[in-house]
């Protein structure tokens, strides 16, 4: 077959897939154009003389980082406050999440042992679940904005915001963890007349304790990250310090605070990884 042999040796004259390529290029432009318009995407604005001047001055201020002893002590104490806000918030979140989990877990239903769950308990469980979803869906920053209005500036707003959002998250995930495991032990306990709390403490909890603890520790780490962000709306901690330094264009302080923050996050990361591996 001479014709075939010749055609395999010669590269095609033009790209065989050109039609598809041109079509997808046009489609991408059509989709991206409104996105770029909506986000006022004008990268050249970054490079005009005025904004370059402002950014350049600010960046030059970054070096040297602020290292006076007073400021370092202040940054360290604010870092501790950030961690304390996260810890206290998570503790309150547990106070909210544990009862909600006990109320909403399907595995602990006595009426569901024989066929369908009765209507009353079903709706109680469902409404607790919806309440958790609402708590979780409002971002913690919005909770913090609301609580700053109610209780004033300071760590209280941050603690409450973390407590509500993380309470919702923990409650939902605890429920999922408890329901994804083997239900056999719990069911046997319930069938033989133990109370729901007994079935939880002796059946469900020992089975899932490691997973529950490890998720809680992971969330504690997340809470530290988000408590820094909460400081930006006035909820205390490193974020508030950072916000203040940024508003005064004090680059050196900003760099020091960012370094302290990265160190804090790395420390929490290490602690939580160590704890989770020791739990197995």
Partner 1 sequence: MRRPSTRAANAPYRLPPPLFDARCRACWWTAATLALVLASFWTLDLQWSQFVSLAALRSMGRFIGEFFPPDASPEFLAKVVRGTWETLAMSALGTLLAAGAGVLLAVPASRMHAGDAARLRTPTRLLLNALRAVPELVWAALLLMAAGLGPFAGTLALAVHTSGVLGRLFAESLENAPPGPGAALRAQGVGSARVFLYATLPQVLPQLISYTLYRWENNIRAAAVLGVVGAGGLGQLLAFHMGLFHMGKTATILVAMLVLVAAVDALSYGARRVTTR
Binding site for partner 1 (CB under 8 A): 32, 34-36, 38-42, 45-46, 51, 54-55, 58, 80-81, 83-85, 87-88, 91, 133-134, 137-139, 141-142, 145-146, 149-152, 154-156, 159-160, 225-226, 228-229, 232-233, 236, 239, 242-243, 246, 254, 258, 261-262, 265-266, 275, 278
Answer for the pair 65, 256: CB distance below 8 angstroms, yes or no: yes
Q: Compare residues 146 and 183 and give the one whose CB is closer to partner 1.
A: 146
- List CB contacts of 133: < 8 A, sequence separation 6 or more: 168, 172
Q: Tell me the CA distances in angstroms from 175 to 178, 205, 209, 269, one per residue in order.
A: 5, 12, 13, 25
Closest approach of Cβ 3 to partner 1, in Å? Answer: 28
CB of 34 to partner 1, least distance (A): 7
Contact (CB, 8 A) for 181 and 198: no
Place of tokens 């009353």: 120
Q: How far is the CB of 28 from partner 1 (least distance, A)?
A: 10
Q: How far apart are CA 222 and CA 187, in angstroms?
A: 34
Q: Which is nearer to partner 1, 1 or 46 (CB)?
A: 46
CB of 10 to partner 1, least distance (A): 21
Residue with tokens 């602020």, as numbered in its chain = 66
Three-state DSSP class for residue 40 = coil
Distance separating alpha carbons of residues 167 and 272, to the nearest angstrom: 19
Q: Which is nearer to partner 1, 48 or 182 (CB)?
A: 48
What is the nearest approach in angstroms of partner 1 to the Cβ of residue 208? 16
> Both tokens of residue 60?
């030059």
Residue 197 Cα distances to 20, 108, 193, 204, angstroms = 63, 8, 12, 10
In the complex with partner 1, the residue whose CB is nearer, 141 or 185, is 141
Phi and psi for 41 in degrees, rounded to 5? -80, 95
Nearer to partner 1 (CB atom), residue 128 or residue 238? 238
**Nearer to partner 1 (CB atom), residue 105 or residue 245:** 245
Cβ proximity to partner 1, 128 vs 148, nearer residue = 148
Give min distance, CB of 4 to partner 1, in A.
Answer: 24
Nearest-approach distance from CB 177 to partner 1, in angstroms: 17
């Amino acid at each position: 077959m001479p014709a075939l042999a010749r055609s395999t040796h010669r590269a095609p004259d033009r790209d065989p897939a050109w039609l598809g390529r041109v079509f997808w290029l046009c489609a991408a432009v059509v989709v991206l154009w409104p996105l770029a318009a909506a986000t006022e995407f004008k990268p050249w604005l970054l490079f005009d003389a005025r904004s370059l001047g402002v950014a350049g001055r600010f960046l030059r201020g970054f070096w040297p980082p602020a290292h006076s002893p007073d400021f370092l002590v202040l940054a360290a104490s604010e870092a501790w406050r950030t961690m304390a806000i996260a810890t206290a918030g998570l503790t309150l979140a547990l106070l909210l999440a544990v009862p909600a989990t006990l109320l909403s877990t399907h595995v602990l239903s006595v009426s569901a042992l024989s066929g369908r769950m009765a209507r009353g308990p079903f709706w109680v469980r469902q409404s607790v679940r919806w309440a958790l979803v609402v708590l979780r869906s409002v971002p913690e920053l919005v909770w913090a904005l609301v609580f700053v209005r109610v209780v004033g500036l300071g760590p209280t707003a941050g603690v409450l915001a973390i407590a509500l959002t993380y309470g919702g998250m923990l409650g939902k995930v605890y429920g999922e963890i408890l329901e994804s495991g083997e239900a056999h032990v719990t069911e046997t306990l319930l069938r033989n007349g133990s109370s729901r709390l007994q079935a939880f403490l002796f059946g469900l909890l020992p089975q899932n304790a490691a997973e529950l603890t490890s998720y809680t520790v992971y969330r504690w780490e997340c809470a530290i990250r988000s408590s820094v962000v909460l400081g930006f709306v006035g909820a205390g901690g490193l974020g508030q310090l950072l916000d203040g330094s940024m508003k005064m264009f004090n680059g050196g302080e900003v760099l020091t605070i960012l370094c302290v923050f990265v160190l804090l996050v790395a420390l929490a990361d290490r602690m939580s990884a160590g704890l989770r591996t020791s739990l197995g």
